[in-house]
Structure formats: structure tokens, C-alpha cells
Amino acid sequence: MGPTPNKIAREVVDAAYGIHFALGPGLLESVYETVLEAELKKRGLKVARQRPIPIVYDGIRFPIAFRADLIVEDELIVEIKAVEAITPLHKKQLLTYLRLANKRLGLLLNFNSALMKQGVTRLINGPPESAPE
């Protein structure tokens, strides 16, 4: 059995900190995505980049509903941004990916933050909150 999603997430965050320290903010998302993929593979993790995720609706299979930036160990979806600020839309995007891919844990990494710790958002795909009766 492989590493748990939490252990994978810790490894990804550690790698992101190192990359952010080395390259700094202000580059294109694709640069961070490429380097993070290489760093995670160097650490022995299985990484799929830009993997299509299908959706099935009304018996019809759409082969590409979205492309995940990175899926690590087939457990964790990593969405990479290089934006001024993470918005609710970015979070909704990752939650949609988690739901469609049937994954529990995702990381939203904004490499444009002054400090990487401010650029890490952890999201969990769980049951919707039930309204109090």
C-alpha cells in the first residue's frame, strides 16, 4: 500500500516550498507545473500531468471534462496557480475536479504569493454540509 493522501500532500507542499524559494514568484503556471512534476518524480512519487478526467451524464461519457494539472500517486489532485490572489472560483474549480475524479484531497498552490505558506490551500471533497433543522 502506498503513502496516505496526507503524507503525499506534505511531500508536495515541501517540494512547492523548495521550488518557490529557488525560483520565486512571478513565473508562468506552466513553469511551476513542469518543475513540480520533476521534483515529485525525483522524490519517488508517481505523477500524472494534464491527465484528462471524464464525466458521465445521462448515460453519455464525455472523455475530457477537465485536465488535472497534477495527480500524485492517483490520490491527490494538485491545481497550480500563479495569480494575485486565490478566489472562491479557484476553490470551486478544484472541488469540481475532486468530485468528478472521485478523489478526497486536493491542493491549490499559488506560486505568485510572496511566501509559499500563504499560497497553499488544502481542500477536502466531503459530503455537503447538512442544514440544521
* DSSP symbols for 15-76: HHHHHHHHH-S-S-HHHHHHHHHHHHHHTT--EEEEEEEEEEETTEEEEEEEEEEEEETTTE
Mean of per-residue pLDDT scores for the chain: 92
For residue range 91-122, list pLDDT tens digits in order: 999 999 999 999 999 999 999 999 999 999 99
Q: What is the 3-state secondary structure (H, E, C) of 2-13?
A: CCCHHHHHHHHH
* pLDDT at residue 131, rounded to an integer: 43
Decide: pTM greater than 0.95. Answer: no
For residue range 34-52, list pLDDT tens digits in order: 999 999 999 999 999 999 9
When pLDDT is averaged across residues 24-32 and rounded to a whole number, the result is 96
The distance of Cα 62 from the centroid of its chain, to the nearest Å, equals 22
Helices 5-23 and 29-42 pack at an angle, to 10 degrees, of 120
